[in-house]
Amino acid sequence: MDDGIERRLAEIGRLIGDWRRSEERSAATLAISVTTTPFDQRERLLEALLGLAGVGPERGSRPLAAPGADIVPAAPRDALLQLVDRERTYLSNVPIHTPLSRVCRALVRLGVLDHTKIAP
């Protein structure tokens, strides 16, 4: 993981703070933070988040499930494709039904924001 991605992860951690106060708000902030990351870093940032959650590239096409029945699983690959497709990636509005939002919600629920590279 390069220094730019580590700095962005730390910045996201400071921005979100205590994610347990509002899991939904934290997931929305995470999704917006990923989409507002410079275009050349977005994919690497999402891959770093997935890696911190223990989701390797070999699981990219399998839906990322999280505890609870309220999240419709989405495949990390679909979220990455959404980031690549700049026409579908809204810079400040990430509808909750998109693959990126669903993957970010799963990542939050899986506790990725507790990782030392992110936690404030």
Is pLDDT at 3 greater than 80 in this prediction?
Answer: yes
Q: CA-CA distance, 96 to 100, in Å (whole number)?
A: 8
Provide the pLDDT for residue 47: 95
pLDDT of 62 = 93
pLDDT band at 94 (very low <50, low <70, confident <90, very high): low
If DSSP codes are grouped into helix, strand and coil, which group holds residue 74? Answer: strand
pLDDT band at 112 (very low <50, low <70, confident <90, very high): very high
DSSP state for residue 64 in the 8-state scheme: B
Strand partners, 74: 64
Q: Distance between CA atoms of 27 and 25, rounded to whole angstroms?
A: 5
- Percent of the chain at pLDDT above 70? 92
Q: Check the CA dihedral 20-23-91-73 and report its sign.
A: positive
Whole-number percent of the chain with pLDDT over 90: 49
Q: Can you tell me the distance from the alpha carbon of 7 to that of 85, in angstroms, rounded to the nearest whole number?
A: 25
